[in-house]
Amino acid sequence: VPQRANIFTTMTVRENLLLALRSCARAEATTRLTKAYELFPILAERAHQRAGQLSGGQRQMVAIALGWLTQPKVMLLDEPSAGLAPIVVTEVFRTLQLLCRTGITLVVVEQNARSLLRWCDYAYILREGRLAFQGTADEILADEETAKGYLGIAARVQP
């Protein structure tokens, strides 16, 4: 899922989503579209609205739903929180958590790594294109140098 220009703004939400289903039989497309609307209820409410009239967070959800509808084993997401209000970021990340529960592996490039660490299984931290640290969320948060240098988390105060 690209960071920007990831939906067709002149088409409705429903038309955008149907693009991902164009190779499916009608019954299968209907089933998947219904499930997408269950995962993304706001998209059901906005189904007949032009995608260009949506908020940034709603557009991002359309883009994520488009990717999900193709039933991938792995989804790549580039900065899904870029340019979004904090409350919307929370909603987008909640949606990503739900997708993980459906069995999809997510590979996410994200500057807001601290928020992702709350629910990811494993993380890689890159610096200047090179691997700087890898591990579980707990391992990354427990490493004070990594937490401070890459996540902006202050060093813990020792009693």
pLDDT tens digits, residue range 1-41?
A: 655 668 999 999 999 999 999 999 999 999 999 999 998 89
Check pLDDT > 60 for residue 88.
Answer: yes
* Number of independent structural domains in the chain: 2
The domain of 145 spans 121-159
Q: What is the per-residue pLDDT across 97-107, written as a single tens digit (0 to 9) for each?
A: 988 888 899 99
Predicted TM-score of the model (pTM): 0.81
Q: Residue 54: which CATH number? A: 3.40.50.300
Q: SS3 string of the chain?
A: CCCCCCCCCCCEHHHHHHHCCCCCCHHHHHHHHHHHHHHCHHHHHCCCCEHHHCCHHHHHHHHHHHHHHCCCCEEEEECCCCCCCHHHHHHHHHHHHHHHHCCCEEEEECCCHHHHHCCCCCEEEEECCEEEEEECHHHHHHCHHHHHHHHCCCCCCCC
Identify whether 7 is part of a domain. Answer: no
Is 116 inside a domain boundary?
no
Task: Tell me, yes or no, whether 91 and 133 share the same domain.
Answer: no
